[in-house]
Amino acid sequence: MNIPNRITISRILLIPIFILLLSVPFDWGSWQVGEATLPIVDFVAAMLFIVASATDWLDGYYARKYNLVTNLGKFLDPMADKLLVSAAFILLIEMNLAPAWIVIIIISREFAVTGLRLVAAGDGVVLAAGQMGKLKTWIQIVSISALLLHNVPFSYFDIPFASLSLYAALLITVVSGVDYFVKNWHVMRDSK
């Protein structure tokens, strides 16, 4: 197994730690950030999420630079992203930081794209993530990070940055999903 795929697997292995941090009621205290209070465990979880997310860029960069792009990597990388992002969004519902309807739409898009990839794989075709899908992933990462740092006062015209980024993530998720299906419609049309 090459280094980019190992980096991707490390991202997958960080997910249970991330889930544990936000699921178990650790009381590590909190920090005052201006007028807001940020639980330290939420900060640690946000940093772990950001580090895990950064491995997405690292494995892709390394794979392209050293010509180590593999079919396993094309499969594992988007799957690792989906697992990490889905876990984070579901936990944000539990924390009352994201509405369930938005998370359902985002995760449904991920299942639909994964289903299309499975149909393609059954026909021997590997569908890699496109540029819009990569943009979608990064906007989702920014949104999740902002929501995890929910009490830090980022705002733009008195609209909290976390809320704004969540709606941006929803919009780009839907648009990129439609784009992915339009560009790869031939896979479903020609499937045996």
Q: 6-61, pLDDT tens digit by residue? A: 999 999 999 999 999 999 988 999 988 777 778 899 999 999 999 999 998 899 88
| CATH number (domain holding residue 9) | 1.20.120.1760
Chain mean position to CA 73: 16
Number of domains the chain contains: 1
Furthest CA-CA distance within the chain: 60
Give the span between the Cα atoms of 110 and 85, in whole angstroms.
10
Domain assignment of residue 51, given as a range: 3-190
Q: What is the pTM of this model?
A: 0.86
* Cα 175 from Cα 76, distance rounded (Å): 23
Q: Are 145 and 45 in contact (CB under 8 A)?
A: no
Phi, psi (degrees; rounded to nearest 5) at 144? -60, -45
Structure tokens given for 73: 């990597």
Q: Which two tokens stand for residue 30?
A: 């909190």
